[in-house]
Amino acid sequence: MQMEEKTILARELARTISQFWRVGRPHGSLQGIKQSEFILLGTLIHCAGPDCRGIKISDLSTQLQITPAGVTHMINSLEEGGYVERLADSADRRVVLVKPTAKGKQVIESMKVEHLEKLKGLVGFLGEQDSKELIRLLSSTLTYLKERRDHNADKVQT
């Protein structure tokens, strides 16, 4: 493939992805939670596990790849809504842990169900063969993006 053809395809891909995100993104909030807060809450629940006493804000910051101040801002809002609670670490009272509440777990679970229903609709629209092809293409795209990220991280460290 010639460089000009790659450029044309890359531009078309950029336009398509841009339209995809505009159409697929929910407007406003999800059950009173901003999309960024929803992602943080989902990450917190995923990382915490059922018997976890909580997660440090710095660990959430690392996991989400955003600043601790950004995490704190979202945690404040989620705490006001009753979706998370802050706890002092019993081993070190200076450390603050964040834990999802029952309300937080419930809202994430209901959003997962809603999201799965939307994806079932997409599978019905695309059909089995195209759905499998989309999964294959998205998986390949993730592999490429992860390899680029890891390669760029290696370049920064050297």
Confidence of residue 27 (pLDDT cuts 50, 70, 90): low
- Domain topology for 3-126: Arc Repressor Mutant, subunit A (1.10.10)
- DSSP-assigned states of every residue in 96-155: EEEEE-HHHHHHHHHHHHHHHHHHHHHHHHH-HHHHHHHHHHHHHHHHHHHHHHHHHHHH
- DSSP-assigned states of every residue in 47-105: HH-TT---EEHHHHHHHHTS-HHHHHHHHHHHHHTTSEEEEE-SS-TT-EEEEE-HHHH
Segment 66-104, tens digit of pLDDT: 999 999 999 999 999 999 999 887 788 788 899 999 999
So what's the pLDDT on residue 26?
58
d(CA 153, CA 147): 10
d(CA 97, CA 44): 11
- Going by the DSSP 8-state scheme, the letter that residue 26 receives in this structure is P
* Residue 64 reports pLDDT greater than 60: yes
Phi, psi angle pair for 142, to nearest 5°? -60, -40
Question: Is residue 45 within 8 Å of residue 100, measured between CB atoms?
Answer: yes
d(CA 146, CA 106): 31
So what's the pLDDT on residue 141?
93
Mean pLDDT over each residue of the chain, to the nearest integer: 87
140-157 mean pLDDT: 85
* Residue 29 reports pLDDT greater than 60: no
Give percent above pLDDT 70 in the chain. Answer: 93
Domain ranges within the chain, ordered by starting residue:
3-126
Confidence of residue 24 (pLDDT cuts 50, 70, 90): low
Question: Is residue 83 within 8 Å of residue 100, measured between CB atoms?
Answer: yes
* Residue 54 reports pLDDT greater than 90: no
- Of the two residues 95 and 131, the one the predictor is more confident about is 131
- Of the two residues 89 and 108, the one the predictor is more confident about is 108
